[in-house]
Amino acid sequence: MIKQSPLQFDFEKLWKEGMLDWHGKMPERMIDDELEEAYWAESMKKKTYKQTDEYAKKIYEKMKQHIPQNSTCIEIGPGWGNYTFQLHKDVKSLTLVDGSESVLTYLKQYFENDENVQFVHSKWEEEQIEEHDVVLGVNCFYRMYEMNAALKKMNRLAKKRAIIGLTTGPIQPHYILLDEQFGYDIKYPRRDYITIVNMLYQLGIYANCEMIKLEREYRYDTMQQLYEAQSKKILSSRFHMAHVKESLERFIVMEGGQYVYRYPFYAAIISWDPVRLND
């Protein structure tokens, strides 16, 4: 519990510290644009036609309530289009800003000759762009170091509404058992939506924050695949796979010959009407 005034804390500093890995170093993908581009190039190759995540539908339905009709909209970091395809149907024009050429190339195939969709190859922090009615970004802030500046830019360029979406915890429940019952150090999330809410507060923006309960599903063909995938967040240098197995047992079901792991998680929808800030 924070007993002092939140104004005494530097939440942007906490955000920056959360970008470091568990050895206190900045991961290479955070600072190497070529590595980041290689990641997205490989990811786009694996996508099928307009493939999106199932949970994105619920997130978009909540965000849609904050998007005025006939709006012009900027989407920051569209990725493979989890929200892009629906946004395109609901806004007057859409400007997609992404630092990955592979992402934009992937999306362009769906909007050929559509004058209402513009593509901007740039990091959000660097692009000079005109105001739009709505500025929106979901899960696109992981490489943004100067977050106060990024949030101010959203506020400045949004004429009617700024919207941020972030998926959040809790962590897979078996990791909590591995921590509490077996004493393993676990890679708990280090950055979360609440830090952004507090950064906005310190900037003088009183944002709304709505939570959506969702469900994530993982499927594995073999138990070995399951154990290997669901032990990656163990920070302890040594652990017993028997403990991983025991912690997972109550959460796994068999369906269609596969091992299925489902667990709840949440998404936060942070939104606000733009305000005049004293920069």
Q: Which domains does the chain possess?
A: 6-168+188-215+265-272 (3.40.50.150)
pLDDT for res 179: 97
| Triad 125, 129, 130: Cα angle to 5° | 140
Residue pair 254/226 in contact by the 8 Å Cβ criterion: no
* Three-state DSSP state, 51: coil
| Triad 20, 232, 167: Cα angle to 5° | 65
Confidence of residue 4 (pLDDT cuts 50, 70, 90): low
| This prediction's pTM | 0.93
What percent of the chain shows pLDDT beyond 90? 92
Instruction: Kindly state the average pLDDT of the residues 199-224.
Output: 96
Q: Retrieve residue 186's tokens.
A: 């676990």
- CA–CA distance, 17 with 249 (Å, rounded to integer): 35
Other CB atoms within a 10 A radius of the CB of residue 189 amount to 11
Confidence of residue 6 (pLDDT cuts 50, 70, 90): low
Q: Please state the φ and ψ torsions of residue 172, each to the nearest 5 degrees.
A: -50, 130
Q: How far is CA 72 from CA 84, 141, 156, in A?
A: 13, 21, 15
Q: Retrieve residue 214's tokens.
A: 């969702």
**Residue with token string 């099928």:** 48
Instruction: Tell how many helices (H) and how many strands (E) occur in the chain.
Output: 11, 8
Instruction: List pLDDT tens digits, range 161-181.
Output: 999 999 999 999 999 999 999
Q: Please state the φ and ψ torsions of residue 151, each to the nearest 5 degrees.
A: -70, -40
Return left, alpha or beta for 50; rule: phi > 0 is left, psi -120 to 50 is alpha, else beta: left
Instruction: List pLDDT tens digits, range 125-148.
Output: 999 999 999 999 999 999 999 999
Instruction: List pLDDT tens digits, range 220-261.
Output: 999 999 999 999 999 998 999 999 999 999 999 999 999 999
pLDDT for res 9: 87
